[in-house]
């Protein structure tokens, strides 16, 4: 798993933890994960993020606006953000980002 996201538009490097920390400051977000989503059309990555909520319904656009406000830079806002009921975990209890991306890819392929 890549430790840095190379943003597909700005070319800047972004640590996923920066995005995760910004999302976790929203009062309704319980868990957050961010990672690189390879962009087939551009040289770089899109920012993918997924969150679970503590029961209060919050829309994806509200969460994007929260990240934009918290970090003050548009290129740090996730290009794709999903609200999920749970995040996959590894055997040691960490968020399984590989599994998360694989599930996202499967969902995307089934929609096409």
Look at residue 112 in the predicted model and tell me its pLDDT.
Answer: 62
Distance CA 50, CA 38 (A): 16
Token pair of 51, please?
A: 């969150």
* Residues forming beta bridges with residue 53, ordered by sequence position: 29
Q: To which residue do tokens 């399984």 refer? A: 96
Q: Tell me the CATH number at 71.
A: 3.30.300.30
What is residue 72's three-state secondary structure?
Answer: coil
pLDDT by residue, tens only, the chain of 112 residues? 667 888 766 778 889 999 999 999 999 999 999 999 888 777 778 899 999 999 888 999 999 999 999 999 998 999 999 999 999 999 999 999 999 999 998 988 887 6
Distances (CA, A) of 73 to 1, 6, 24, 57, 99: 24, 15, 17, 25, 28
Q: How many domains does the chain have?
A: 1
Q: Which domain covers residue 91, as residue numbers?
A: 5-111
pTM of the entire predicted model: 0.89
What are the pLDDT digits (tens) for 63-79? 999 999 999 999 899 99
The answer for 29, left when phi > 0, alpha when psi is -120 to 50, beta otherwise, is beta
């Amino acid at each position: 798993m890549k430790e840095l996201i190379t943003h597909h538009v700005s070319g800047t490097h972004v640590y996923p933890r920066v995005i995760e920390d910004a999302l976790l400051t929203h009062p309704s977000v319980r868990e957050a994960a961010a990672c690189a989503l390879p962009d087939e059309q551009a040289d770089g990555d899109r920012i993918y993020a997924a969150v679970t909520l503590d029961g209060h319904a919050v829309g994806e656009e509200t969460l994007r606006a929260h990240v934009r406000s918290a970090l003050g830079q548009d290129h740090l806002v996730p290009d794709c953000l999903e609200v999920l009921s749970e995040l996959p975990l590894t055997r040691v209890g960490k968020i399984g980002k590989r599994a998360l991306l694989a599930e996202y890819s499967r969902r995307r392929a089934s929609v096409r």
